[in-house]
Structure 1
């Protein structure tokens, strides 16, 4: 059963005029395997090359591009060695950037949430904020964990996918309450706690906060998806 989302779900100042896009399956896999070569774009921040970096920045750069993040299904570093999305922004403040990068890696690669649950929540936040890079990246990750184009379309249109499990739907409702209403009512909390427990709700809350932080970076510096991306309507 789908759950309609009120119009206030979308921050109209940031919502794209065209539908959020879902990248085609040809774009997955390591950069060398992609049919279309993609290039990082920094928005309002100049792209920093490795030669521009001090030792702390270079350590962060090397950490960001290393597997498993660096060889995932979306562009992190392009053929010119330039970082895409929020990762270039993190290089401007290596100490803070390292902490942000480490938290993201922990959530994505060492968290306890089911992969589908995590990526549904991340794509929800990308859709709420209208963040092109965040949607570009995590719609690709979503495809690798079994989230379908129809499920992504539902999130884009502001509804819970009909195919979501009750556990997934409860996580989406909990995250939406945090993002949209900045308050979680007792019923929404109880429903999500039944499926995810206290530890799971802490993780969902941190997950939502982290991807809102990245959305803030992407919005503040008007960072788009990489150039050369092949897109289809979600």
Structure 2
């Protein structure tokens, strides 16, 4: 709940005063919504208690996909078996892997607020393995980075995750990686922009 309150406050203080560059899939003005888009936005605002923002703006060009993604995120973001603190660590790993500035801009402050050390987030931003992680953070970090970089998870890493979080936790951990990867892909494809004064992740050679 602390993460949810912090995120809501961040949105209220920050996103209301920022103009996000439009990119390839411009934000649709409310007066131009189709009936399906209008319903999708209404459902979003009812469930999330916030205005439509971030990846859901370009996703609204396909309102059915947007609604399905929002619904999936309702569980994975707030109710997963690994908890909201560790899920923030996963999101940062995904944001770094995809060099997704918006995901990083939103979730790095939340991660620190809910208990992830700033030194850990700094290391991830720099592409380094963090030092001083807790056992749970190490399990989640190793599982996520292996999944992204190797397209596979080793038996040792899988066994540690299953022992700690159970089978549901392993499924949820994988799904959080997949969900935020999908959002990152949508924003990267749309060239969704952060504000000009926002800190951007370092670009690494591919």
Confirm or deny a common fold (TM above 0.5): yes
Alignment correspondent of 2:70: 101
Moved more, 32-41 or 147-156: 32-41
Q: CA deviation at 1:99?
A: 0.5
Residues 219, 228 of structure 1: alpha-carbon distance in 2 compared, 3 angstrom cutoff: closer
2:133 aligned partner: 164
The one of 12, 35, 39 equivalent to 1:55 is 35
8 A Cα contact 1:167 1:196, kept in partner: no
Evaluate the alpha carbon distance shift between residue 188 and residue 89 of structure 1 in structure 2; reply closer, same or farther with a 3 A threshold: same
User: Residues 195 and 143 from structure 1, CA distance in 2 versus in 1: closer, same or farther, beyond 3 angstroms?
Assistant: same
1:175 corresponds to 2:126: no
Is 1:42 the counterpart of 2:11? The answer is no
Structure 2, gaps ≥5 residues long: 1-6
Q: Is the 8 A contact 1:42 1:85 kept in 2?
A: no
| Residues 37, 60 of structure 2: 8 Å contact kept | yes
Structure 2 distance, partners of 1:121, 1:180, is 14
State the aligned residue count.
196
The verdict on how the C-alpha distance between 1:94 and 1:154 changes in structure 2, with shifts beyond 3 A counting, is same
Q: In structure 2, what is the Cα distance between the partners aligned to 1:117 and 1:52?
A: 39
Q: Is the 8 A contact 1:42 1:84 kept in 2?
A: no
CA contact (8 A) 1:174 1:189 kept: yes
Say which of 135, 140, 160 aligns to 1:191: 160
Q: 1:28 to 1:139 in 2, by over 3 A?
A: farther
RMSD: 2.6
Distance 1:170 1:36 in 2: 37
Q: Find the aligned partners of 2:152 and 2:115 in 1 and give their Cα distance.
A: 30
Scaled by the length of structure 1, what TM-score is found? Answer: 0.75
Q: Any conservation in 2 of the 1:129–1:215 contact (CA below 8 Å)?
A: yes
Q: Deviations over 1:114-143 (max 9, x none)?
A: 222110011011011101111111113213
- By percentage of residues, which structure has more helix? 2
- How far 1:96 sits from its partner (Å)? 1.4
Corresponding residue number in structure 1 for 2:45: 65
Deviation at 1:217, TM superposition (A): 0.4
Residues 1:137 and 2:106 are matched in the alignment = yes
- Partner deviation per Cα, 1:42-85 (whole Å, 9 max, x = no partner): 31112101111112211211233346462xxxxxx4xxxxx442
Query: What TM-score do you get using the length of structure 2 for normalisation?
Result: 0.84
Structure 2 residue matching 1:29: 3-state secondary structure = helix
